[in-house]
Amino acid sequence: MPDGYRYGRVLLKLSGEALMGDAGYGIDPKVIDSLAVEIKEVVDDGVQVAIVVGGGNFFRGVAGSANGMDRAQADYIGMLATVMNALALQDGLERAGVVSRVQSAIEMHQVAETYIRLRAIRHMEKGRVVIFAAGTGNPYFTTDTTAALRACEIDADCMMKATKVDGIYDSDPAKNPDAARYEKISYLDVLTKELNVMDAAAISLCKDNDMPLLVFNLTAPGNIRRALKGDNVGTLVY
């Protein structure tokens, strides 16, 4: 375990929306660059980092199917969107001086490695950041479920879900000014109170495999490092 850190190997879940910044669509290079600097800080300290990125800044399978598309086909398009995000993130990390690899659940040899669990772990042990793209490779599974699955597969110490709010609240803080933030909450409570953290499949995967989940605010600079050191910057789900 790196000095001063509570978690030595972590899976970071980024939404596609997080990468588009204030733009309504696509990728904001400034967001990528600031993310890369924050990730570099913890990697340089010896933390092993893997990332799962969503594709909502380009395409959402659920939205596509709601508009009449075949759900499986729409989900495959969404998976390809995550590959574009993964490559953009890799570019930002490499420019910041962080060696990284993209592993895709859908084979595309020209741009990414194929997902192989032990190879991913070996990359991390060598100090490389691994970005998992194309979801699980299967339709009907969200990238949150992918993140929970990959976190368990690589034996991460915790899964971090980056959001725009500083944790989990008992109601929507944007609509209710009196909403209270949880510092800690059990997976059972998340499910029974129907708190909109992740989909039930992702929550169940984490719960069944004792994978702690840290929900934190990505927009505050330095939060990734603080969260990994155990500071009170979000909500811990256990």
Residues 77-128: tens digit of each pLDDT? 999 999 999 999 999 999 999 999 999 999 999 999 999 999 999 999 999 9
Residue pair 175/186 in contact (Cβ under 8 Å)? The answer is: no
Q: Is residue 209 part of a domain?
A: yes
Q: Is residue 83 part of a domain?
A: yes
CA-nearest of 160, 208, 178, 177 to 38 is: 160
* pLDDT category of residue 24 using cuts at 50, 70 and 90: confident
Strand, helix or coil at 222? coil
- Here the tokens at position 212 are 């702690």
- Here the tokens at position 164 are 């725009």
- Here the tokens at position 183 are 């510092």
Q: Which pLDDT score, from 0 to 100, does residue 214 have?
A: 98
Q: Is residue 4 part of a domain?
A: no
What is d(CA 203, CA 150) in angstroms, rounded to the nearest whole number?
13
Q: Is residue 3 part of a domain?
A: no
Q: Is residue 1 part of a domain?
A: no
Burial of 115 (0-12, 13-18, 19+ CB in 10 A): buried
Residue 226 sits in which domain range?
9-237
Residue 228 phi, psi dihedral angles, 5° rounding: -70, -25
Q: What is the CATH number of the domain that holds 182?
A: 3.40.1160.10
Contacts of 218 (CB under 8 A, 6+ apart): 14, 18, 35, 162, 163, 164, 224
Q: Is the pLDDT of residue 151 over 90?
A: yes
CA-nearest of 94, 95, 101 to 133 is: 101
Q: Is residue 2 part of a domain?
A: no
Q: Is the pLDDT of residue 161 over 90?
A: yes
Q: Tell me the pLDDT of the chain averaged across its residues.
A: 96
- Here the tokens at position 222 are 């330095």
Question: What is the DSSP secondary-structure string of 164-197?
Answer: SSSSEESS-TTT-TTPPEESEE-HHHHHHTT--S
Residues 39-90: tens digit of each pLDDT? 999 999 999 999 999 999 999 999 999 999 999 999 999 999 999 999 999 9
Place of tokens 């992740």: 198
Domain count within the chain: 1
Q: Is residue 111 part of a domain?
A: yes
Task: Catalogue the E-assigned strands of the chain.
Answer: 9-14, 48-53, 100-104, 113-114, 129-133, 158-163, 168-169, 181-182, 184-185, 213-217, 234-237
Q: Which pLDDT score, from 0 to 100, does residue 211 have?
A: 98
* pLDDT category of residue 23 using cuts at 50, 70 and 90: confident
What is d(CA 210, CA 69) in angstroms, rounded to the nearest whole number?
37
Place of tokens 């299967």: 138
Q: Is residue 145 part of a domain?
A: yes
